[in-house]
Amino acid sequence: MRTGIKVTGLFALTSGLFICLAWFFPGRMTGGGSVFMSNGGVVTSADMDSSGRVTHGFELHCSTEPPALPPTPNNLEINWGLPGDRHHFHLDVLMSADCFMDTSLNAPNPPDADFNTMIGVGTGDLDGKSGATIHFTLTDQGEPGVLDTAAYLITDAGGTVVLSVDTTRLTFGNQQAHNGN
């Protein structure tokens, strides 16, 4: 009986470790591109040109030891708006980035990677003013990047939504999931 309890305990312990390792491992996603309202995305913004084009570029690391911040460097730039009235979001601090394999989506390979989805939140500057917040979801669903998707929600320092883009496939660009840092 005692042996049975010990074995059960060991199993529970190793199961817990496995879950931790499965969720928090060194990884990063890089890339960028454009999403268009005309490609099925819902873009909400005070100022948007007729194409609804939003461009982005990034290098973002997966969280490894929450609540610690993800490893650095982390960069995310998003641009949108009208000619002569462009808007720009610049990430300052990546607060968290959960990386995992969503099996309902396509595989990220190549290269071999243990995740195809990153869901994150961070703070940054909106048109040069600090206090903005971004929530985002980025996916790598293979190469080239035509199946990759991006979604963002950006709020200004006052909490007003300035850009909301539902999950939308890239029209230009590619996103890459990488194991390790």
- Pick the closer one to Ca ion by CB: 124 or 173: 173
Question: What is the size of the binding site for Ca ion (CB under 5 A)?
Answer: 7
- Return the residues of window 137-176 that contact Ca ion according to CB under 5 A: 140, 145, 148, 174-176
> Which amino acid type is present at position 151?
A
Residues 6+ apart with CB under 8 A from 44: 161, 163, 164, 165
**Please, are residues 59 and 133 in contact by the beta-carbon 8 Å criterion?**
no
- H-helix or E-strand containing 95? strand 85-100
Q: Which is nearer to Ca ion, 165 or 170 (by Cβ)?
A: 170
Q: Alpha helices of the chain — where are they, by DSSP H?
A: 2-23
Question: Is residue 108 near Ca ion by the rule CB under 5 A?
Answer: yes
CB of 109 to Ca ion, least distance (A): 6
Q: Which residue lies nearer to Ca ion by CB, 74 or 175?
A: 175
Which chain residues interact with Ca ion by CB under 5 A?
108, 140, 145, 148, 174-176
